[in-house]
Amino acid sequence: MKTATSEQPTLELDQRVLEASDYLRTCLRIPELDFPIKARYAIASEQEVLHPIIHNNDVIAIVGAFYGDEGKGKLIDAVAHHPLIQLIMRANGGENAGHTVFLNGVEYIFHLTPSAILVPDKTCLIGQNCEIDPLTFMPDEIQPLQKEGISLDKLFIGNAHIVTPYHKLMDLIGNPKNTSTLRGMGPSHASKAARKGLRLNDLYLSEKEQACYLLEDMRSYEGLLHTLSISESELIDRCRELNTSFKRIPDHVIQFLREKDKVSFLIDLYQKTVTTNSDFPKQVNSTQLLNETLEQGKKVLLEGSQARMLSNAEGTCWRKSTSADTTAAGLIAAAGYNPTKYGTAVINVAKFPSSKVGAGPNPTAYVPQNFFSSRNVETLDDIVDVCDDFDAIQKKFFESIRDNGTMFESTYTDKDGRTYAISAAMAIASSRHHKERGATTKKPRITGLFDCVVHHSVNQAQGPLLAINALDRGDDYDNVGITIAYIVYSPEGELTADGRTYKTGDIIKAGQPLPNETVLSKCYKIMRVLPGWKKTPLKNLKPTDPLPPEAEHYIGAIKLYTGADPISMGTGTGNKDIHYLKRTN
């Protein structure tokens, strides 16, 4: 752990960002910055807003709108408590997703178990297109629930794909430091696509049959070690190093490296953990259970993992995506029902401020996505006591936005005398102030403004319903902002994406196609500054209170630029901290 008095990471902005800021001052003000915000909203009841959505559809899919970590758990809990919802399903993805739910003051972090397991008398299902490591699933998710007395009688699991220790090691070998959850998702999905590896049903085969599958699948792991001239003793050292701050590599993965007969080691562990373990969830044909539920006229909640912009099927950020199709369409396809037969409502979830953990282009962020990882900042503890005067920093940040909506990189001097570009100070202060760290990786998330350019494309594909979480964080801001367009800065020359040529100075507005990640990496945000609601905070808002006009204005701006229909806002960490919204004009 780094401390303010020992080794401090270098936290200056890259020179390229500073050069872009200098160029952006010459850009003309776009007309969209002056569009009138007409939509008006008021607080409504759950019965007025959420219940009609549930009544009018057979399936409710709750998905992340941006890059995950949006706090989907609160809305999932609200929908799951409705008496007509009988089955809650995780249909794809794996333990790289972290869903946090607060219940009666207790924090629960779920990676694969549907977070609605906390709702009594509901059936929860892990589908056949999920990826599971039983050796972490049992101690990390099932046993803590058992200790809390949570009933698991109605938790079922389909023929999911098995994530093995060698998948996690391949993830470790194949990814630079701090760019992966190290949960083995990429390699395990590669095994899935190659039709190799094990599925849950295979653990009930003979040891000889399991060994054949494992030996064939492990060739990729062995070949990677050989090609890169990496020894398993070196991997053990790397695992120990990664586990210095907190345990990122499970014990069974390190033990796998020590074993000579790795196949027998795995078969024995899977037998103890799954096939002879009465605590392992009951197995079912997940597609059959889902469709039988719908045929009986009961309603289903699909719990999405990650978010649309992290989907492997989303071309915009494909190289830095997760390995599953985490769009709404991918979730529905993975679940395995007929959406033309059963009506489906998709609710997109975003939050204030937006955040992303991991690599990839993200123009709306305060700093580039590799800002922390390239500076060896692995957890928030690595920047303890740095840029902690959030109030002063947020004020200066919004004062540094030019009339044309671009950023002037003024400087901020911290209490120790160190000087930071204001965007860097805002990134550090925001992550620390809002405790933005990955539920799985503990990495500090890169935060930023609500991105109307991205969300317009999300809305086109799976809109219009939108829930905005953590809006009470705006209580701490004198001003708030949204990204309404991007501007390209590419001094190296022109770029081509989808048949279009992009050059320095080109504007990409909300409603226009998102370019590929190469172009996005050369894009900078154009921001509209709006008044904050510091004087009328949302934190203590009662259902009978009027919506503060500044918050109403912010929500209306999102409606203006994206076409979305905001239906709720979150104002706290608790499951009851949801205020539903209705449009009044």
How far is 486 from 16, CA to CA, in rounded Å?
16
Q: Where are the beta strands (DSSP E) in 414-550?
A: 419-421, 446-448, 450-451, 465-469, 479-488, 495-497, 500-502, 507-509, 523-531
Mean predicted confidence (pLDDT) in 9-38? 89
Residue 430 has pLDDT above 90, yes or no: yes
Q: Which residue has the tokens 């060896």?
A: 376
Instruction: Kindly report the pTM of this predicted structure.
Output: 0.93
Active site residue 82: no
What's the pLDDT at 475? 96
Write the single-letter amino acid at 442. Answer: K
408: alpha, beta or left, given left = phi > 0 and alpha = psi -120 to 50?
A: beta
Inter-CA distances, 63 with 60, 72, 349, 364, 467, Å: 10, 7, 6, 20, 10
139-143, 374-378, 541-545: which is most confident: 139-143
pLDDT band at 318 (very low <50, low <70, confident <90, very high): confident
Inter-CA distances, 553 with 399, 480, 525, Å: 20, 11, 20
Mean predicted confidence (pLDDT) in 353-361? 87
Mean pLDDT over each residue of the chain, to the nearest integer: 91
How far is 515 from 357, CA to CA, in rounded Å?
21
- Active-site pick, 58, 69, 472, 506: 69
Looking only at the bridges linking them, the beta strands covering 479-488 and 450-451 are parallel
Mean predicted confidence (pLDDT) in 386-406? 96
Active site residue 51: no
How far is 204 from 190, CA to CA, in rounded Å?
23
What's the pLDDT at 246? 75
Inter-CA distances, 95 with 90, 159, 170, 183, Å: 11, 16, 16, 7
Structure tokens at 23: 């160029």
More confident residue, 158 or 119: 158
How far is 548 from 533, CA to CA, in rounded Å?
7
Mean predicted confidence (pLDDT) in 55-60? 98
- Active-site pick, 58, 77, 82, 99: 99
What's the pLDDT at 107? 77
Helices 207-228/262-270 angle, 10° precision: 130
How far is 55 from 82, CA to CA, in rounded Å?
10
DSSP string across 112-127: SS-GGGGSTT-EEEEE
Residue 63: enclosing H or E segment and its boundaries? Answer: strand 59-64
What's the pLDDT at 4? 41
Number of Cβ within a 10 Å radius of residue 389: 15
pLDDT tens by residue, 331-341: 999 999 999 99
- 60, 50 in Cβ contact below 8 A? no
Mean predicted confidence (pLDDT) in 247-271? 95
Alpha carbons within 13 angstroms on the beta-carbon side of residue 277 total: 19
- 489, 363 in Cβ contact below 8 A? no
Beta bridge partners of 509: 485
What's the pLDDT at 437? 82
Mean predicted confidence (pLDDT) in 131-152? 92
How far is 348 from 80, CA to CA, in rounded Å?
16
Residue 8 has pLDDT above 60, yes or no: no
Write the single-letter amino acid at 575. Answer: N
For the CA atoms of the chain, what is the radius of gyration? Answer: 24
Burial tier of 81 (Cβ tally within 10 Å: 0-12, 13-18, 19+): middle
Mean predicted confidence (pLDDT) in 252-275? 97
Dihedral over Cα of 326, 114, 110, 570: its sign? positive
The full set of domains in the chain, from first to last, is: 15-34+365-448 (no CATH), 43-160+282-353 (3.40.440.10), 165-275 (no CATH)
pLDDT band at 247 (very low <50, low <70, confident <90, very high): confident
Residue 2 has pLDDT above 50, yes or no: no
What's the pLDDT at 5? 40
Mean predicted confidence (pLDDT) in 11-37? 91
550: alpha, beta or left, given left = phi > 0 and alpha = psi -120 to 50?
A: alpha
